[in-house]
C-alpha cells in the first residue's frame, strides 16, 4: 500500500511539471511573436500651396418686394366687381376692383347743377351792374344800389369757383370707384369679396414689385464697422470692399440664384436690442420666381487673404480643440494650424476650393503628411 501511494504521488508531480513546462513554452512563443517588428506604415504626402484665398461670410436673409403697395379705396361703398386674377401680374393703372358708382354719379350731377345755378346768378349780377352803372353816374339811382349789385356780382363769382371745386371733387369720387394698381407687380389674394362694404381704412389687396427683389439681413456692429473701413480703404489688387462686392443668394433648397445681387444700403441705426444693423440688398428676379417672405442666405466675399498657405482637408487632425498637421523636413513634426477666420464675423469659415488656411509661415519645400503620428527618417 505504501509503495503504491508513493508511485501515485510521483506520477502526479511528473504530469504537473509537464503541463507547466508546456504552458511556459507557449507563453514564450507568444512573447516572441508579439515582439516581432511591424512593417513601416505607408503614408502619403501633399505639397503646401500658397495663393490668395477669398474669405466668405453668410447671413440669413428675408426677401421682400422692392416696392410693396397696399391697395385701399379712397371712397366708401359696396364692392360690385373684382377685375383681376389673384397672384397674377398686374400693370400700373389696371382696374382691380369696382365700387358701386351710383351715389357718386348722383353727387356729381347735383354739383354740376349747383354750378350752373351759380353761373346764372353771376350773369344776372353782371347785367345789373352794367345797367345801373350809367344810371348811378347820372344820379338816377342811389349809389348804394350800385354798390350792392357789384358785391352781388363778386359773390356770384366766388360761388362759381366753389361749385367748380365741388364738381371736381365729385368727379374724383366717381373716378375712385374704380380702384386701380399704383405699380407694376404681383397682386396678392383679395381681402374682400363682392358685396362687402368697404371704407377708407379697408385693405383690398397688396401689390408687390418683385423684379428686382430685396433681401434684408442683419450683420453685427463689428462687422459693419470693418466693412465700412474696407470700403473707404484705398483700392488695391487684393482689397475687397464689402459694399461693392457682388452677392450670391443661397435658396432654401441649397441651390444658388443664377443672378448676382448688390448691396443697396444700410439701415440708419444699430438695433440696441440685438447689436446688429440691417443691410438691404437687391437681386434680379426674372420670371418672378422669388416671392416676399421667403428665406435664404446671402453669401458674400468679405476679405482676401494674401499669400495664404493651403493644405488638403484630409491632412488635418483635430486634437484638444486645435488642428494639427505633420510636416516633413529634417524630421516629421507636428504644427498647429487654424481654419480661416472671417474678419467680419469671427466665425470659422472654409474657402470655396475646400482647403484650409495656414496662418504661420513655413519654409518652402515642406510636404504635408495625409496622416499624422508617424516620424520619418531624416
Torsion of CA 255, 260, 265, 266, to 10 degrees: 30
Q: What are 303's three cell numbers?
A: 476679405
pLDDT digits (tens, 9 = 90+) for 81-119: 999 999 999 999 999 999 999 999 999 999 999 999 999
pLDDT at 294: 95
CATH topology of domain 69-207: OB fold (Dihydrolipoamide Acetyltransferase, E2P) (2.40.50)
Query: For residue 131, what is the enclosing H or E element?
Result: helix 102-137
Q: Which residue intervals of the chain bear CATH 2.40.50.100?
A: 69-207
Q: Is the pLDDT assigned to residue 10 strictly greater than 50?
A: no
Whether 238 has a pLDDT exceeding 90, the answer reads no
pLDDT value at residue 285: 94
Residue 328 — pLDDT band, cuts 50, 70, 90?
low
Q: What is the DSSP letter of 256?
A: B
Q: Which of 160, 159, 158, 149 is nearest to 124 (CA)?
A: 149
Q: Rounded to whole angstroms, how far apart are CA atoms 52 and 309?
A: 9
Mean pLDDT within 26-38: 56
> Does the pLDDT at position 25 exceed 60?
no
Whole-model pTM? 0.65
So what's the pLDDT on residue 248? 92
Domain 50-64+208-369 class? mainly beta
* Range from 28-32, 346-350, 352-356 that averages highest in pLDDT: 28-32
User: Looking at the chain, which residues constitute the CATH 2.40.30.170 domain(s)?
Assistant: 50-64+208-369
Mean pLDDT of the chain: 78
Band the pLDDT of 189: cuts 50, 70, 90: very high
Amino acid at each position: 500500500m505504501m509503495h503504491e501511494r508513493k508511485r501515485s504521488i510521483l506520477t502526479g508531480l511528473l504530469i504537473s511539471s509537464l503541463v507547466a513546462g508546456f504552458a511556459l513554452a507557449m507563453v514564450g512563443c507568444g512573447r516572441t511573436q508579439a515582439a516581432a517588428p511591424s512593417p513601416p506604415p505607408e503614408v502619403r504626402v501633399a505639397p503646401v500651396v500658397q495663393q490668395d484665398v477669398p474669405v466668405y461670410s453668410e447671413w440669413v436673409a428675408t426677401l421682400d418686394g422692392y416696392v410693396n403697395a397696399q391697395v385701399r379705396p379712397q371712397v366708401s361703398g359696396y364692392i360690385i366687381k373684382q377685375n383681376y386674377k389673384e397672384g397674377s401680374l398686374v400693370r400700373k393703372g389696371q382696374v382691380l376692383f369696382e365700387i358701386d358708382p351710383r351715389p357718386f354719379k348722383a353727387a356729381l350731377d347735383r354739383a354740376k347743377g349747383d354750378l350752373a345755378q351759380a353761373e346764372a346768378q353771376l350773369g344776372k349780377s353782371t347785367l345789373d351792374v352794367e345797367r345801373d352803372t350809367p344810371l348811378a353816374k347820372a344820379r338816377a339811382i342811389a349809389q348804394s344800389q350800385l354798390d350792392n349789385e357789384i358785391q352781388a356780382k363778386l359773390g356770384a363769382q366766388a360761388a362759381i369757383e366753389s361749385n367748380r371745386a365741388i364738381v371736381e371733387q365729385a368727379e374724383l369720387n366717381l373716378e375712385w370707384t374704380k380702384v386701380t394698381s399704383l405699380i407694376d407687380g404681383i397682386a396678392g389674394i383679395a381681402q374682400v369679396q363682392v358685396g362687402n362694404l368697404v371704407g377708407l381704412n379697408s385693405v383690398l389687396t397688396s401689390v408687390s414689385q418683385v423684379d428686382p427683389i430685396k433681401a434684408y439681413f442683419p450683420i453685427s456692429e463689428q462687422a459693419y464697422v470693418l466693412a465700412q473701413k474696407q470700403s473707404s480703404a484705398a483700392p488695391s489688387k487684393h482689397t475687397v470692399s464689402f459694399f461693392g462686392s457682388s452677392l450670391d443668394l443661397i435658396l432654401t433648397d441649397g441651390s444658388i440664384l443664377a443672378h448676382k445681387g448688390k448691396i443697396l444700403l444700410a439701415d440708419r441705426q444699430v438695433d440696441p436690442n440685438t447689436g446688429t444693423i440691417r443691410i438691404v440688398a437687391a437681386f434680379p428676379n426674372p420670371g418672378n420666381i422669388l416671392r416676399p417672405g421667403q428665406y435664404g442666405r446671402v453669401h458674400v466675399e468679405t476679405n482676401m487673404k494674401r499669400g495664404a498657405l493651403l493644405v488638403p482637408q484630409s491632412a488635418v487632425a483635430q486634437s484638444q480643440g486645435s488642428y494639427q498637421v505633420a510636416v516633413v523636413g529634417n524630421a516629421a513634426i507636428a504644427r498647429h494650424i487654424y481654419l480661416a477666420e472671417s474678419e467680419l464675423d469671427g466665425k470659422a469659415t472654409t474657402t470655396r476650393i475646400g482647403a484650409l488656411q495656414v496662418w504661420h509661415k513655413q519654409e518652402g519645400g515642406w510636404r504635408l503628411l495625409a496622416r499624422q503620428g508617424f516620424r520619418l527618417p531624416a
